[in-house]
Structure 1
Amino acid sequence: MQKVDSKAILMGIAFGVMWASAFTSARVIVQYAPPLHALALRFLASGLIGIVIALAMGQNWRLTRNQWVAVVVFGITQNGLYLGLNFVAMQTIEASLASIVASTMPLLAAFASWAVFGEKIKPLGVLGLLAGVVGVVLIMGARLQGDIDLFGVALCAISVISLTVATLAMRSASSGGNFLMVVSLQMFVGSAILWGPALVFETFDVTWNWQLVVAFSYTVLVPGLLATLIWFFLVDRIGATPAAVFHFLTPFFGVLIAAILLGEKMGSMDIIGVLIITAGILAVQMSKQKPTSL
């Protein structure tokens, strides 16, 4: 694992913007198409494009054992559960709220690292976790006073737990090269497990218009393929836990993009809550930094 350098920071910011934009494009898609069908098709398209590019780049199917683990675990937890549940949830909740819930992932990852892997958390890290809880409570408290779909929020909460599992699974499964091939194959895993629920629970009823075409195409190419590829490179470069800090960009950019493109509003408690969550995430990450000798 390398130190976080300027290249890693640029990669992380690019990932954060792309990842956050997916909430807005997903919100548009589910207004005109059934969410699970749309997501299964998105993964199928992203996977096919990715494999063609990977083969053209000289990559191959000979993955390491850890990479095959990453393909299956990441495909199920991130693509199938995290994104699948988010797509369903955004039929009834705003993109900004979904992005705020997703921003708690680094805090959950830090907590799980302590609870599951026995990593020690310094006092600053404990304060960061508590700050994250306070921020979420403030946001949820303000939102609950308005018209909010609790079932949709619950789906987002389950989805972010799945994303935490996906991130922790990358601790030992991100090396070995063939990154684009790995990304493409885990897209197929996500598509495969979504087709069953899509065919059972949904009717393929689509309202075709330019908004749907643009949103779907963007989601396939940018958040679906490019952002995931950058994430794999970032985790390989600096490690899963340091890379997770860039998810703190999700609420800011998620709310900003949703406000610009969808006209969604954010109240004062949302702003305060996002700032507290961000401070909490940074505190957790700072607590993990080893002091450097002069």
Structure 2
Amino acid sequence: MELRAIVMGLAFAMMWSSAFASARIIVSAAPPLGSLALRFLVSGLLAVALARLMGQSWRLSRAQWRATIVFGLCQNALYLGLNFVAMQWVEASLASIIASVMPLLVALASWLLFKERLRPLGYAGLLAGIVGVTLIMGARLQGGADPLGVGLCVLGVISLAVATMSVRGAITGGNVMMIVGLQMLVGSALLWPVAIAFETPQVDWSWRLVAAFSYTVLVPGVAATFLWVVLVERIGAIRAATFHFLNPFFGVAVAAVLLGEPMGVYDVIGVAIITAGILAVQLSRLSSRK
């Protein structure tokens, strides 16, 4: 893999992982679902405008519209919606760790539902992921982590895995950035009624909130997505997915630096095990495609 692709992959992993820390800042000062709906509205409009500048069309195929709607529901409204609500009670580091096991869930579902065979290294990676998550979750729950918040994060990552499995191959045929923008707008449209019905529009304004929201819109929302698309086009989806093994480490590290969240010994051990598990699964799938 060329050096430029490695740098792009590292930048994407850092951007993606940092979103949990900025989200934690946002939900501490503003309603979570309303904030997320506004973020998707702004990010979606920016992505659609960027797609138009790239010459992409919003005339999508039936499969692409299905991908847009499914991702808008499962990835944005459910996965991120549940995580934003959960981070009122759980730390950003824990939320990022739970979310980072998505590649393991997809690999497990591919094996169980689609009979996609893995090499022995892949099965070892799945087992390592389960061990790492169990270790961290057990330590965090004993340390007082909110069970409801943890449960919402778990439901969220399952929703993300379902979305990933449901639209396999559906975004082929171009217009990827347009699909990204439209699925954000779908998520925004789904979240606004819930936010209006159940949340009080009370915001504790500060420069920290404005900075966190702006960062979330521009960096994880638009820049990371664009970088991911370019990376996939450059080296392929399977190779690009190997960079997800960095997400547990980056997520915990960013939360510790920006938010001062504690990092226990079980967190370090568990993150190392999960990271190794994700890497093993991705490398196994990569070698099986050669």
CA deviation map 1:40-89 (0-9, x unaligned): 00000111122222223322212233322221111111111111100000
Report deviation, 1:8.
4.2
CA deviation map 1:69-111 (0-9, x unaligned): 2211111111111111000000001001111111111110100
Report deviation, 1:174.
2.5
Partner of 2:34: 37
Residue 121 in 1 paired to residue 118 in 2? yes
Q: Using the alignment, how far apart are the partners of 2:278 and 2:46 within structure 1?
A: 35
Look up the SS of the partner of 1:15 in the other structure: helix
2:249–2:275 contact (8 Å) kept in structure 1: no
Report deviation, 1:202.
0.8
**Range moving further from structure 2, 195-204 or 164-173:** 164-173
Q: 2:50 aligned to 31, 49, 53, which one?
A: 53
2:119–2:288 contact (8 Å) kept in structure 1: no
The amino acid of 1:286's aligned partner reads: L
Q: 1:89 aligned to 86, 89, 100, which one?
A: 86
Partner of 1:181: 178
TM-score (norm 1): 0.92
TM-score (norm 2): 0.93
Q: Using the alignment, how far apart are the partners of 2:180 and 2:288 within structure 1?
A: 35
Q: Using the alignment, how far apart are the partners of 1:284 and 1:47 within structure 2?
A: 32
Partner of 1:198: 195
Gaps of 5+ in 2: none
Residue 20 in 1 paired to residue 17 in 2? yes
Q: Using the alignment, how far apart are the partners of 2:18 and 2:283 within structure 1?
A: 27
Report deviation, 1:37.
0.2
Partner of 2:99: 102
Gaps of 5+ in 1: none
Residue 287 in 1 paired to residue 289 in 2? no
**Range moving further from structure 2, 224-233 or 209-218:** 224-233
Look up the SS of the partner of 2:168 in the other structure: coil
Partner of 2:76: 79
The amino acid of 1:156's aligned partner reads: C
Report deviation, 1:222.
0.9
The amino acid of 1:161's aligned partner reads: I
Q: How many residue pairs get matched? A: 290
Q: 2:225 aligned to 214, 224, 228, which one?
A: 228
Q: 1:292 to 1:139 in 2, by over 3 A?
A: closer
Question: Alignment identity in percent?
Answer: 64
Look up the SS of the partner of 2:59 in the other structure: coil
Residue 254 in 1 paired to residue 251 in 2? yes
